[in-house]
């Protein structure tokens, strides 16, 4: 018989998130569900914040699948070998990033941060920052039209 009290559900409180996790310039990550914090073996979950008008460096997460759930703000995702594709997501939207896809997160707003929950398909803290020249160029239009805010 299993000891469900010590081997069952784990709760990681908001103040217990761990910022000692690989970072990408322009974004702040904090780990919530890891092997160390909750005994997770197949998932990693945490939070990300992108400040107003900020953007991350181009990066990928190796063979991990990534899901972001936007809580607050307006995220603009760019992806592709030259970040040639883009789409925006707002509160309540989910974003799926397949393995090895070069991508960049941007905050499309100047007045509030983007806050999201991120979940990955593995425990390895894979963040491979990439040198893609287009990551430093702003796509036009940077801010969404008023009907998308």
What is the value of pTM for the model shown? Answer: 0.84
The pLDDT tens digits for 114-148 are 999 999 999 887 888 898 988 888 765 555 544 45
Query: How far apart are alpha carbons 91 and 71 in whole angstroms?
Result: 5
The CATH architecture one would assign to domain 29-130 is: Sandwich (2.60)
Residues of the chain with pLDDT under 70: 1, 139-149
Please report the pLDDT score of residue 139 as a whole number: 66
Sheet with 59-60: list strands edge to edge. Answer: 85-89, 75-79, 103-107, 59-60, 128-129
Residue 83 · residue 134 · CB < 8 Å: yes
The domain locations on the chain are 29-130
């Amino acid at each position: 018989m299993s000891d469900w009290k010590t081997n069952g559900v784990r709760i990681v409180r908001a103040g217990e998130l761990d910022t000692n996790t690989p970072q990408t310039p322009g974004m702040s990550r904090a780990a919530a569900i890891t092997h160390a914090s909750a005994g997770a073996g197949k998932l990693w979950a945490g939070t990300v914040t992108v400040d107003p008008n900020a953007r991350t460096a181009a990066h990928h997460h190796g063979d991990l699948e990534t899901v972001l759930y936007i809580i607050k703000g307006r995220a603009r995702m760019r992806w592709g070998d030259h970040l040639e594709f883009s789409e925006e997501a707002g509160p309540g939207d989910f974003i799926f990033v397949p393995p090895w896809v070069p991508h960049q997160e941007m905050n499309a707003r100047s007045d509030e941060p983007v806050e999201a929950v991120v979940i990955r398909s593995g425990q390895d803290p894979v963040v491979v920052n990439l040198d893609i020249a287009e990551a430093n160029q702003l796509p036009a239009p940077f801010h969404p039209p008023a009907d998308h805010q």
